Amino acid sequence: MPELNLKQITDKLNAEFTGEGRKLVFWYDDQVEFAEDIDSLGLTHAKVLRLEPDNQFYTKYFLERLDRKTSYLIYAPFSKPPVRDNHLEDTLLYSKRFFADRASLLLVDLGIDPVHRDLIQKYIKFFAAKERAQRFYDLEIGQFTAENIEIGLMSSLCKTRTASFDEVVRSMLTGDALENNKFLAELAKYDLTQAFWRIGSEQFGYADSQPTLEKLTISLFVTYTEKFLHGDLPSAWKRFSAVKSGNVIAFVDSLMNNVLYRDKYDELAAFVANLLNLHGVIEKTSVEVWADCDSFGEIDQHIIRWMTERLLQEDRTASLGGASISALCQLRRKKHFGPCCQAEYLMLENAHALILAAAYKCYEGFGKIAERYLAGDYQLDSQYRAFYYHYDRLAEPAAFEKLRDLVENIYTNEYLGKVIAGWNAGLLKEGDWAAVLPLQRRFYDQFVRGGKDRVVVIISDALRYEVGQALFAALQDDAKCSVTLRAMLGVLPSYTQLGMAALLPHNTLGIDADGKVLIDGQSCDDLKQREAVLRQTVPNSRCIQFDEIKSMKKVELREVFTGMDVVYIYHNQIDARGDKPNTENEVFNACAEAVEEIFQLIKRVSVNANTHHFLVTADHGFIYKRDKLQESDKISLSTTKHMMVNRRFILSDEPVQTDGIAAVELGKVLGCEDRRSVSFPVGANVFKLAGGGQNYVHGGSSPQELILPVLDVKMEKGHVETRNAQVVLVSMIHKIANLIASLDFMQPEPVSDEIRATSYRIFFAADDGEKVSNEFIHMADMRELDPQKRIFRLRFNFKNRQYDKTKPYYLVAVDEKSNVEVLRHSVVMDIVFANNFGFGV
């Protein structure tokens, strides 16, 4: 940054007098600041000649007649006279003028062409403070034009990190209120207000006789919206439409999608929507008009209302912009306001899938029904679960209560009522269940016995098949995981004690007269008893609760598995919540949490305990319906003289003889000679018993209760799940106007155990792949927790060549190791001075 000092002036003057030939330099010192210092300058190739107001003619005579060889600095301690009064005017024509004011020194120090001296002088007040001037210097503007200088001054006042008009506008819109904006007030202090609105007109096409930030913001949003409308702008909005829509769209896109400014964008969008009466306008126009637009959150609400109405009409073919309701939900989730409306879109997507199943027809035959369930019918249970999972997350669910009623009716009556009845009809006719599905009571022999490596069996209480499918999908997404999913048929009655016992090694499985489950004559009701049973077959084995190991340290975790051949881990998230009346409506939340807990458990044990083979299964499934049961859904019992009575089954010596109830011999289920009967509702009904808890039930015979998942998981040895550190562009830039550009990037997450340092090649390239700038090798290895400290700047130098403004150029980032492109940001190359103005000089 320049200071007015003698050494700097002397150096500059000596530079002027270097080279061949005689030189004359005139210095008019308007403020007479250097009259006392002029003789001590120490010029090496010239002499000082003092000019006085009354010796101009003699000076002219001296320079052009008496001494025509010596170089002189002609110092005048006064302002340059007007042309008509200046006898040396013609001498000045073949001489140079020297300026020692702040503006002139700034020109020299920054390398600004003297043609811009008046412009610098106009804004000289800005440079009076060292801090402001230093911010201007730090912008490192590569080439100076009048516009670049003014943008640099604005950028300095708005404290942006790059000289960019977009960044100036962004700072104003996101850094303070639009009314009485502090940044605009700063510009006014230094006479930059007029320049701001002039450049705003040039950049965005925004023109107004009385411009304001509020009206500029409206113009930006209206212009952006117009681009994506299927139809004309509302007539009341047309006056806000700007002519340079391309620049506006690039700016709004950058603001909308920039990780640092998304929340502020939402605030601005709500502000503009209110001023434009967007809700009223939208309600008067066809939803088709807004199908592809995402500038305002109200548009998403309008589309959501339209989809809800279509679903309530059970319009299975409804579409918008050529997209079905399910496809539309997926498309809108990816747009700007998608995350804000994610619960609504996911709820509607699953509601649509269930409404498509309203005419469900059940196959005949146990084998066909089981095959169809595994091939796709399980998805109806998943979609019902997902519907309520997201419905329960709505801030205002009242608008969707009718849709909820419709979904509940379809799932309960059209699907569950039909599939369970058909399933049980087929089950009773089928002689050999094992020919249709593997049996749970043979789990150990079929899946565990004979393994060469240590195997961990994770038994999640009530992890029904469709939830197992969700876990399967999560595991499939892990590149270091190999997983297969099979199904098996659970025991009947389908309750915890019997299901847990069936999963252990055994010769005989039974229930005694007191209802106690026995394995080979031994009780196995608790963890210690189960471990004793397991160790009879596998001495190096153990049973442990998930809750006991979930918070263990690495050393403790390793001790659990060291020396073991088989480990059974008991996980209880779903049943623990579903079996309690006050938490049964949280069961679908519990399903999602169970999937995540088991997924993380597998990864953690694999990494920390040198264990890579896992089996995941369940003791039983469940049925859940949100609506409270009506009396017609309950089966009254004429007597309670039975060994075991549950809402979904009765164990007794004789089958219960009542309409709507079927029965099988217990011996057929357990593979023994027990002639007692298990009676169960043929539909989704329950036995009428005292007490709460009716929405979540299990114990009976339905695909949801009896079809259980078996996931066989193998993790790659020595694998620690990590992902690359990323880089994202922070600077809001869509146009390059200089041969040098400094841009800000950010590493979104710090390097950690899960985030690994990654090297990137970052450069600019033409559409055909030709590099048009220098290339940086940047190592994304920052560990700072503060996001602001993970922002870094790169300075790009562009080739001095002609650029076509009509063709795209790109900022590109490529993973140096994998050579995979991770960033491609489109820019316009509008470099006026490239290739020496195009004259080839």
> Residue 750's domain is classified under what CATH number?
2.60.40.2550
Query: In angstroms, what CA-CA distances link 446 with 258, 451, 710?
Result: 53, 11, 11
Q: Both 479 and 614 in a single domain?
A: yes
Whether residue 208 lies inside any domain: the answer is yes
Pairing of strands 613-617, 686-687: unpaired
Beta bridge partners of 829: 736
Pairing of strands 740-746, 791-797: antiparallel
| CB 727 within 8 Å of CB 762 | yes
CA 315 – CA 304 distance, rounded (Å): 15
Beta bridge partners of 116: none
Whether residue 372 lies inside any domain: the answer is no
Last residue in a domain, options 671, 697, 715: 715
CA 107 – CA 617 distance, rounded (Å): 76
Last residue in a domain, options 341, 360, 384: 341
Q: Both 95 and 225 in a single domain?
A: no
| CB 430 within 8 Å of CB 367 | yes
C-alpha R_g of the chain: 40
Whether residue 91 lies inside any domain: the answer is yes
For helices 297-312 and 262-275, what crossing angle results, to 10°? Answer: 80
Q: Is the dihedral of CA 323, 328, 331, 336 positive or negative?
A: positive
- Joined together, the tokens standing for residue 776 give 């940086």
Q: Both 614 and 481 in a single domain?
A: yes
Q: Both 249 and 299 in a single domain?
A: no
Residues 770-780 as b/e (b if ≥16 CB within 10 A, e otherwise) read: eebbeeeebeb
Whether residue 363 lies inside any domain: the answer is no
Q: Give the range of the structural domain holding residue 568, as residue numbers without chain letter.
A: 437-624+709-715
Element (H, E) at 680: strand 677-681
Whether residue 751 lies inside any domain: the answer is yes
Q: Give the distance from CA 651 to its chain's centroid.
A: 53
Structure confidence at residue 739 (pLDDT): 83
CA 283 – CA 260 distance, rounded (Å): 32
Q: In one letter, which amino acid is 179?
A: E
CA 456 – CA 712 distance, rounded (Å): 10
Whether residue 669 lies inside any domain: the answer is no
CA 126 – CA 421 distance, rounded (Å): 84
pLDDT digits (tens, 9 = 90+) for 95-144: 998 887 778 778 877 888 889 989 998 998 898 788 898 999 988 887 89
List CB contacts of 203: < 8 A, sequence separation 6 or more. Answer: 165, 166, 244, 247
CA 588 – CA 579 distance, rounded (Å): 13
Residues of the chain with pLDDT under 50: 1-4, 836-841
Structure confidence at residue 2 (pLDDT): 45
For helices 465-476 and 587-608, what crossing angle results, to 10°? Answer: 40
Q: Both 26 and 141 in a single domain?
A: no
Q: Exposed, middle or buried by CB within 10 Å (0-12, 13-18, 19+), for 827?
A: middle
| CB 388 within 8 Å of CB 394 | no
CA 106 – CA 87 distance, rounded (Å): 30
Q: Both 75 and 158 in a single domain?
A: no
Structure confidence at residue 1 (pLDDT): 42
| CB 812 within 8 Å of CB 765 | yes
Q: Both 451 and 557 in a single domain?
A: yes
Q: Both 94 and 171 in a single domain?
A: no
CA 770 – CA 262 distance, rounded (Å): 33
Q: Exposed, middle or buried by CB within 10 Å (0-12, 13-18, 19+), for 670?
A: buried
List CB contacts of 720: < 8 A, sequence separation 6 or more. Answer: 607, 753
- Joined together, the tokens standing for residue 555 give 């050393």
Number of domain units in the chain: 5
| CB 681 within 8 Å of CB 636 | no
Whether residue 603 lies inside any domain: the answer is yes
List CB contacts of 763: < 8 A, sequence separation 6 or more. Answer: 771, 773, 774, 775, 776, 796, 811, 812
Whether residue 383 lies inside any domain: the answer is no
Q: Both 269 and 293 in a single domain?
A: no
Query: In angstroms, what CA-CA distances link 224 with 178, 228, 258, 295?
Result: 19, 7, 16, 7
Q: Both 783 and 813 in a single domain?
A: yes
pLDDT digits (tens, 9 = 90+) for 465-520: 999 999 999 999 888 899 999 999 999 999 999 999 999 999 999 999 999 999 99
CA 429 – CA 676 distance, rounded (Å): 19
Beta bridge partners of 319: 324
CA 298 – CA 276 distance, rounded (Å): 12
Structure confidence at residue 718 (pLDDT): 62
Structure confidence at residue 692 (pLDDT): 67
Q: Both 451 and 590 in a single domain?
A: yes
| CB 619 within 8 Å of CB 724 | no
In the three-class reduction of DSSP (H, G, I as helix; E, B as strand; rest coil), residue 564 is classed as: coil
Residues 362-398 as b/e (b if ≥16 CB within 10 A, e otherwise) read: bbeebeebbebbbeebbbbbbbbbbbbbbbeeeeeee
CA 168 – CA 536 distance, rounded (Å): 75
**Cis peptide bond N-terminal to 2, omega within 30:** no
Pairing of strands 776-780, 758-766: antiparallel
Last residue in a domain, options 306, 321, 341: 341
Q: Both 446 and 546 in a single domain?
A: yes
- Render 603-620 in DSSP notation, one character per residue: HHHHHHS---EEEEE-S-
Maximum Cα–Cα distance for the chain, whole Å?
A: 140
Residues 709-742 as b/e (b if ≥16 CB within 10 A, e otherwise) read: bbbbbebeeeeebeebbbbbbbbbbbbbbbbebb
CA 824 – CA 597 distance, rounded (Å): 36
